[in-house]
Structure 1
Amino acid sequence: MRTKHRLLFATTAIASLLAFGTFTPAKADVFDSTEVNADNFIAIAVPYGSGNYQLLVLEQLSSRRACWRENGSAPVRVEPLLLNFDFTNICGRSTDSNGYSIRMGNTDMGQKFDFNIVKGDGEVVLVGSNLRDRSIPPIRIGSTKGMTSGFMKFILEPGWRFAKRTYQGRMLGHIYLTNDAVASSSGSRPTRLLPLPQVPIEPPQEPPVREVIFTKPGAAPPATRGTVPTARPETRPLPQKPTSRPRVVPTF
């Protein structure tokens, strides 16, 4: 009886595979791309931890409010204005490979290359690294052209630009950093990345916390903080029948 059940299960499984076919992963070249207005996009180096950086790509979806503000040059400091309001349908934000990837020679390279941020000679450099062979020199995509604390704009290298992913003519939210050059197994124009001395990044200064003390009008001011006396202060007896009950004033 068990043998019959096993044969029945195997026959059913084979029939299912024949009916639905085998599943194969989607190929990267099924996606196309379309050109976009570069002014609506920005690639940003976001500092975190101890001298580390993360790639953030912002997109201006609507003209109702500005999503960021740029200041200075070499490097360009970026102020993320979208943190000050509800940016739904106004700003697009991509923080990992789900939202952006590399495209070269009209081919989606998301399965072969990923983004890395390294410290170069007095700047932060955005590169594309080969996922299969880390010994291959990275592809230089952009750099900050200088160093400062806070958010910095990546200036893209010549030939690199923003684009959007499309599928069967429909534009998707995925963002490409694209180049018409074809990626080679040995990298594209390998760039020597020199080590950068650690630049101290000062954390943002928070306003001092003020102690607000509410006292009864006409009462003596509270004693200032100082050294704790070694001797026990003299205690005076409280009046047995106060004329009025003192009001308790909370201290924050």
Structure 2
Amino acid sequence: PQAARPPEPAPPPPKAPDIALEREKKLREQKEREREREEELAKQQQQKKAEAARKAAQEKKEQEARERAEDEAERKKEQQQKLAEAKKKQEAEAAKKKEAETKAAQQAAAQSAADRAATLKRMQAMAGTGGEGNAARSSGPSGSYGGKVAAAVRPNVVYPEADLVNGNPGAEFDVRLAPDGTIVGTPQLVKSSGLTNWDEAALRALQKTEKLPRDVDGTVPPRLIVTLRPKR
């Protein structure tokens, strides 16, 4: 039989310096882990602060943009109101001015018509009016003077539509004359024939004539009412 072996001796206990080193190592590792955790927490907090600051800046920027937009909208609204008020005022002033001008024109036209009517009436009362192409006869002109005026004006009449006219309406003109018979100024239409084309043709004929003949006694009346008709 084998001989019995004695048990192996137990390992000697660690030396005191080795225990101290191991403990110190573990403390260092623990401190390192704590430091890393603190750094991570600090980093996260910094990131959170940066994100919060970014959001705050973005919100502030958006708020400022909204305020600017509101201010701009309000400014445009006020500007549009001012423009509308100015336009309304301008239109009212224009309407008032137009009304005043229309009233003045009507008054002037009425006065002018009244003046022409009074002049015509006065001249007709003094001289009467002749027939086609005749001139008003005053106390001075002879009975044949109207015919002489018609004979002077008729060659200058250009009115091809004469044969198409119903009746023979006359256009009456107030004509001022110089002592030598020259027509002074533009003859004034005091009574329309009712045919605008004939009124214009008769006026052109008078203007083209330029000078009326003298009466049988060699004189020329200073003013005449000349009636011109489209048909002879």
Q: Name the TM-score class by shorter chain.
A: under 0.3
Q: Taking structure 2 as the reference length, what is the TM-score of the superposition?
A: 0.26
Greater radius of gyration (CA): 2
Q: Which has the higher strand share?
A: 1
Q: Taking structure 1 as the reference length, what is the TM-score of the superposition?
A: 0.24
Q: Which has the higher helix share?
A: 2
